[in-house]
Chains A and B, each alone.
Chain A
Amino acid sequence: MSNLKVNIAGVDFKNPIIPASGTFGFGREYNEFYDISELGGFSTKGLTLLERDGNANPRIAESPMGMLNSVGLQNPGVEYFIENYLPWLKTIDTRIIANVAGSTVDDYISICDKVSIDGVDMVELNISCPNVKAGGAALGIDPKNVEMITRAVRDTCRKPLMIKLTPNVANIADNARAAEAGGADAISLINTVGGMAVNYKTRRPVLANVMGGMSGSAIKPVALKMVWQCYNAVNIPIVGLGGITSYTDVLEFMICGASAVQVGAANIYDPMASYNIVKDLQRYVDENNIDINELVGTLKVD
């Protein structure tokens, strides 16, 4: 019988489509376009202990079939989120993944404690933000640090813990194993690929922050490869992301080993993107009478 329900680390999602952190705010803007309870869930804008202003403008540049951003974790702070956004999110029948970041190990321990509350279904640890020194990138590169930070937050994080991995590393499979060894319940990958845009006329970078993170269709092959590498390296579930804009992209990621996916840049191009992918995917499983879970990791390489 056709089915879109998936389970990630004990959390039931009505479908495997999850808008990615930083592309969906706290859900309100897109709920103006459609009922966001149609989604499996969504990952919140990256939260830090204290409010952050983020980077100077410009923060966005286009690249062929993709984009670069350097927002720099602008967010109102975790307390503001809990007081002002979470009460409304509790009324929405979709899974809420709190994406959290920090500057120090203690920050991560503390923020994981704060978001382990009613209304939050899962915590996504952002140790791979490329755009701020405080984004934990230093913690996300060396596998030893990935294991250390995962283990450090494990006790205070009383929700299923998903570690978001950066592709800007030597061997992402090592980082996936490190997250698993540290006690992660799931991993999500890939975060943005480091990149730049340059204006040859002015000889200046387009982004005020000079460097940024690349997303969109252009990075999909990189993401597919890394999901496949990690699928062969760990036993915990993988949430795949990187350039997903259509239901066929979703199928490709799941075949490479993703148990669910996140949709990022596509939301920025098209406010209906995540909703349309859910509807297209539903049609696909209905027409083919398949359970989406059957696809996971079925890539034929012989």
Chain B
Amino acid sequence: MMKDRVVSVLSNTKVADGIFEMVVHSEDFPELIVGGQFIHIALPSLAHPLRRPFCIANFDMSAKTITVEYAVVGEGTEILSRVENGTELKALFPLGNGFSLDADYKTIALVGGGMGVAVLPAIPTTWQDKDYHSFLGFATASKAVLVDELSKSGKVYIATDDGSLGEKGFVTSLLASKLAMIKPDAILCCGPEIMYKSLARELEGMDIPVFISLERRMGCGVGACLVCNCKVKTPKGDKYLRACVDGPVFPMKEVIL
């Protein structure tokens, strides 16, 4: 059975310009969480009834905590940013398929763009025996998050649009420039769709499996309401699948970007 849980907020702090990190705890904790899954949080506001889906940035099975990183982009996240420690929130987790790593994938390139980097730390937490290389892209240095966290799991390469941190330019170009050296068995990626298009161009002609996590406005989060549709190639032709239960992770070659 699936269940709706109540989590209590342990911390909710600003970690970069307009970006917050929230850690929540629940004694009633699931037995399994994998990187790439998400948590669907109800806001403490009757006027804002839709839950907000956030990727599980990290988790701790023994402490029974989930970490979420979010940018304040609208009314909902603004309300969330003012939630105080100890507040109890309804939350559905873990939802979605998450990433799936074959045993023979040894070297993994993690690629994040903007808030998409928030998906990445839970991956080394889930699969600890891999060799990770993280490629993080931000608009500017003041928007950079999770750099230290990802440094614990391997080398981190950074690109910013304005060159204020790391290299100036696109993170996808930075990744492309290091591919021959790193030779990743798989690339796991989360960011805006324009980044996936750029990644697809950079990797053209190469045979590296790429898995991407899609972001959608979401309703129920459990597969019933069909609002989080993503167009995906299937044996029956191009179909709208649900980001919440069929995804949010898909092989990039199957997604119609």
CA distance A270 to B226 in the complex (A): 15
CB pair B50–A268 under 8 Å, yes or no, is yes
Partner-B contacts on A (CB < 8 A):
22-25, 29-30, 32-34, 45, 53-54, 57-62, 64-67, 69, 71, 74, 206, 216-217, 265, 267-272
> Which of B18-26, B56-64, B214-222 lies at the interface with chain A?
B214-222
List, in ascending order, chain B residues with CB within 8 A of A269's CB.
42, 49-51
**Shortest distance between the CB of B243 and any CB in chain A (Å):** 9
Contact pattern, B 211-249, Cβ under 8 Å of A = 1, otherwise 0 = 000001111101111111110000000011000010000
Question: Does the CB pair A59–B47 fall under 8 Å?
Answer: no
Report A203 CB to chain B, min CB distance, Å.
16
**B92 beta carbon closer than 8 Å to chain A:** yes
| A61-B217, A66-B49, A67-B219 given; 13 more Cβ-contact pairs under 8 Å | A25-B225, A57-B228, A58-B216, A59-B228, A59-B229, A62-B50, A69-B225, A217-B49, A265-B49, A267-B224, A268-B220, A268-B225, A271-B222
Stretch of B1-9, B129-137, B170-178 with 4 or more beta carbons under 8 angstroms from chain A: B1-9
Interface, chain B (partner A; CB < 8 A) = 1-4, 42, 46-51, 75-76, 90, 92, 216-220, 222-230, 239-240, 245
Contact of B239 among A53, A66, A217 (CB under 8 A): A53
Main secondary structure of the interface of B (DSSP, over half): loop
Q: Which residues of A have CB within 8 Å of B48?
A: 62
From A58, A206, A216, A271, B49 is in contact (CB under 8 Å) with A216
Chain B residue contacts of A69, Cβ below 8 A = 219, 225, 227
Q: How far is the CA of A216 from the CA of B46 in the complex (A)?
A: 11
- A54 CA / B92 CA spacing, docked (Å): 26
Between A25, A34, A60, the greatest number of chain B beta carbons within 10 A of the residue's beta carbon is seen for A60
Q: Which of A23, A29, A66, A206 has the most CB of B within 10 A?
A: A29
For A62, the chain B residues whose CB sits under 8 A away are: 48-50, 75-76
Asked if B220 and A54 sit within 8 Å, CB to CB, the answer is: no
A265-B227 Cα distance, complex, nearest whole Å: 13
Is the pair B224, A60 in contact by a Cβ cutoff of 8 Å?
Answer: no
Given known contacts A33-B2, A272-B4, is B226 in contact with A59 (CB within 8 Å)?
Answer: yes
Q: Which chain B positions have C-beta within 8 A of A271? A: 2, 4, 92, 220, 222
- On whether the beta carbons of A58 and B217 are closer than 8 Å, the reply is yes
> What is the bound-complex CA distance between A100 and B76, given in angstroms?
35
A60 adjacent to B240 (CB under 8 Å):
no
Q: Which residues of B contact A32 (CB under 8 A)?
A: 1-2, 222
11 residue pairs A–B, Cβ–Cβ below 8 Å? A22-B225, A29-B222, A34-B1, A45-B226, A60-B219, A62-B75, A71-B227, A267-B220, A268-B219, A269-B51, A271-B220
A79: min CB distance to chain B, Å = 14
Residue of B nearest to A65 (CB): B47
| Among B42, B222, B230, contact of A57 (Cβ-Cβ < 8 Å) | B230
Residue numbers in B under 8 Å from A29 (CB-CB): 220, 222-224, 245
Q: Within the complex, what minimum Cβ distance (angstroms) separates B71 from chain A?
A: 15
Q: Determine how close the nearest CB of chain B comes to the CB of A99; give it in whole angstroms.
A: 14
Q: Across the interface, which residues of A come within 8 angstroms of B42, CB to CB? A: 269-270
List the B side residues contacting A33 at CB < 8 Å: 1-4, 222
